[in-house]
Amino acid sequence: MSNTVLQPVLLGALALLMACVTAQAQPMHERDVRDYVKVRSRFLGDARPASMLLIGAGLVWSGFLLEIEAVAAKV
């Protein structure tokens, strides 16, 4: 999960990473899961949103290796 992509989106919605309530990811290759988990842990820190991880069969744009969907809520 790229901090340069996700955090500005969440901050633009006046939320912080700790406000992330769900995170879903679909890496295209099983070999990338371990690296994804390391990066996810680094950027989400102690936040523990509901999450789902699937190995994807392919994305619309060839060359993309990961799809991430995250939802944040400000209370």
Instruction: Give me the pLDDT at residue 23, please.
Output: 85
pTM for this prediction = 0.64
- Domain tally, the chain: 1
Question: Which domain CATH number covers 19?
Answer: 3.30.1330.40
16-20: Cβ within 8 A, 24+ apart: 16/72, 17/43, 17/44, 17/45, 17/47, 18/45, 18/46, 18/47, 19/72, 19/73, 19/74, 19/75, 20/44, 20/47, 20/49, 20/70, 20/71, 20/72
Range of the domain at 39: 3-72
Instruction: Give me the pLDDT at residue 34, please.
Output: 92
- pLDDT tens column, 20-63: 788 888 888 999 899 988 988 887 777 788 888 888 887 777 88
Question: Per-residue pLDDT for 15 more than 60?
Answer: no
Instruction: Give me the pLDDT at residue 13, please.
Output: 52
Instruction: Give me the pLDDT at residue 14, please.
Output: 46
